[in-house]
Amino acid sequence: MKSKSLYIITICSVICLKIAISVMAETITSSSIEIEALMTADNQQNMIGLLELPSIFGIANPNGPHGSTLPFNKKLIKVYSEPSIKSTVINLIELQDDLELKEHGYEVFSVVTYQQKEGWYLIGIKNNKLNKGWISPKDAGKFRPYEKLIVDAMTYLTNKWDGIIWQAPDINSNSESIIKISTRDVRTIETKKFNSKLWLKIELLNPGWCDFTDYYKDPKAIKKGWIPAFSSKGHPNVWFYSRGC
């Protein structure tokens, strides 16, 4: 009788142990997913502008054809894990193909930038787990803030825009969903931050920038309102024609 009771107790102990291990595994998996989600969310950070890297892109030749540069000394750029030369070097950049690029002019490129701190810039890079890294002030060239790139420029709505336009730079204000628009061209007339979120005041244009026939007049605005500068995943809702019409 005692041996039978001992057998039952042993079986129960084994079952309880398996359940406990299973619960712990689920907890660890859940925590790992949460950590990964946080890393992903951080990786979807909004851009703040475009940065020239003279030792990679060169310096634009004002008297040459589009995309040409003046003679320059090309060199490797160290990419750091933090904005400090004491932090880990996580990458060495030699080619434009190693970078997340956008044009700031006709066939003239800069690297997408996500943070700025005491002369250091967090830039978009490839072949890196977080797709970002810091470069030092000595390697940084001219920086163009996003707001200055799109104000007084030939701008348009990107495919990331959700189609909603707001009466004020606040998601609690009145809004309108625009299903059909004649063009995606807009005039960006103002920027404003509200609750740490950048908003753009835009005018929808008809005809678009390159469709109107009277070059001495601006395109006509058919609707005005506010939209967030970036989508929920951090992509710009408004960009500009870097090459013109």
Please state, in angstroms and rounded to a whole number, the distance separating the CA atoms of residues 199 and 161.
Answer: 13
Environment class of residue 146 by beta-carbon count within 10 Å: exposed (0-12), middle (13-18) or buried (19+)? buried
Question: What is the span of the domain harbouring residue 15?
Answer: 1-42
Tally of structural domains, the chain: 3
| DSSP summary character for residue 98 | G
| Whether residue 87 sits in one domain with residue 35 | no
- For the chain, give the mean pLDDT: 80
Q: Could you tell me the pLDDT band of residue 219, with boundaries at 50, 70 and 90?
A: confident
Query: Within a domain: residue 245?
Result: no
Give the residue among 68, 79, 160, 74 at the shortest CA–CA distance from 125.
79
Residue 32: pLDDT over 50: no
Q: Are residues 219 and 164 both part of a single domain?
A: yes
HEC states along 202-236? EEEECCCCCCCCCCCCCCCEEEEEEEECECCCCCE
If asked whether residues 167 and 215 sit together in one domain, one would say: yes
**Two tokens at 104?**
């700031």
Higher pLDDT, 103 or 64: 103
- Number of Cβ atoms within 10 Å of the Cβ of 50: 23
Whether 104 and 36 share a structural domain: no
| Burial class of residue 65, CB neighbours in 10 A (0-12, 13-18, 19+) | exposed
* Selected residue with higher pLDDT from 212 and 172: 172
Are both 168 and 187 inside the same structural domain?
yes
Out of 4-8, 35-39, 145-149, give the one with best mean pLDDT.
Answer: 145-149
Query: Looking at the structure, do residues 87 and 29 belong to the same domain, yes or no?
Result: no
Boundary of a domain, candidates 146, 179, 198: 146
Is position 132 within any domain? yes
Could you tell me if 106 and 169 lie in one domain? no
Q: Which of 82, 111, 146 is the last residue of a domain?
A: 146
pTM as predicted = 0.75
For residue 237, the one-letter residue type is N
Q: pLDDT band for 22, please (50, 70, 90 cuts).
A: very low
32 and 61 in a common domain: no
Angle at 28 between CA 26 and CA 33, to 5 degrees: 95
Indicate the SS3 state at residue 88: coil
Instruction: Mark 157-168 as b/e (b = at least 16 C-beta within 10 Å).
Output: beeebeeebbee
- What gap in Å lies between CA 35 and CA 149, rounded to an integer? 34
Looking at 109, 124, 146, the residue that finishes a domain is 146
Q: 184 with 225, same domain?
A: yes
List, for residues 142-192, the tens digit of each pLDDT value: 999 999 999 989 999 999 999 999 999 999 999 999 888 888 999 999 999
Tokens representing 156 are 């348009």
CATH number for the domain harbouring residue 105? 2.30.30.40
Contact (CB, 8 A) for 50 and 100:
no
